[in-house]
Amino acid sequence: EDKVVQSPLSLVVHEGDTVTLNCSYEVTNFRSLLWYKQEKKAPTFLFMLTSSGIEKKSGRLSSILDKKELFSILNITATQTGDSAVYLCAVGKSNTGKLIFGQGTTLQVKP
């Protein structure tokens, strides 16, 4: 059975800290891994990763995929209170538009 597991499930840090969120997967016919950020509304797209070892970066956020070890990490440096959200990891399978989601990591950044 296809599975996506995120850790930790929740995290509390202070502004300025660096955090690393983890996503491991066991999915047949892997196509891509996606990260979303969800505040109190619709999830918004952050990154899509298809190749191992190539870092994707957007401001203070970066992500990398390891297809051999079947995991991805999302790093956030110099965290701000606006980074407080649920971060969702999802895996897409080949030849289908379906995504398989992990449980999400709830990040709280305190001032």
Partner 1 sequence: DVKVTQSSRYLVKRTGEKVFLECVQDMDHENMFWYRQDPGLGLRLIYFSYDVKMKEKGDIPEGYSVSREKKERFSLILESASTNQTSMYLCASSPTVSEQYFGPGTRLTVT
Residue 58 within binding range of partner 1, rule CB under 8 A: no
Our CB check for partner 1 shows the closer of 40 and 111 to be 40
* Candidate segments 12-20, 44-52, 59-67, 73-81, binder of partner 1 by CB under 8 A: 44-52
Q: How far is the CB of 110 from partner 1 (least distance, A)?
A: 21
Q: How far is the CB of 43 from partner 1 (least distance, A)?
A: 5
Torsion of CA 68, 55, 7, 111, to 10 degrees: 170
Residues in the interface with partner 1 (CB under 8 A) total 24
Residue 3 within binding range of partner 1, rule CB under 8 A: no
**Residues of this chain, 5-34, that bind partner 1 according to CB under 8 A:** 9, 31, 34
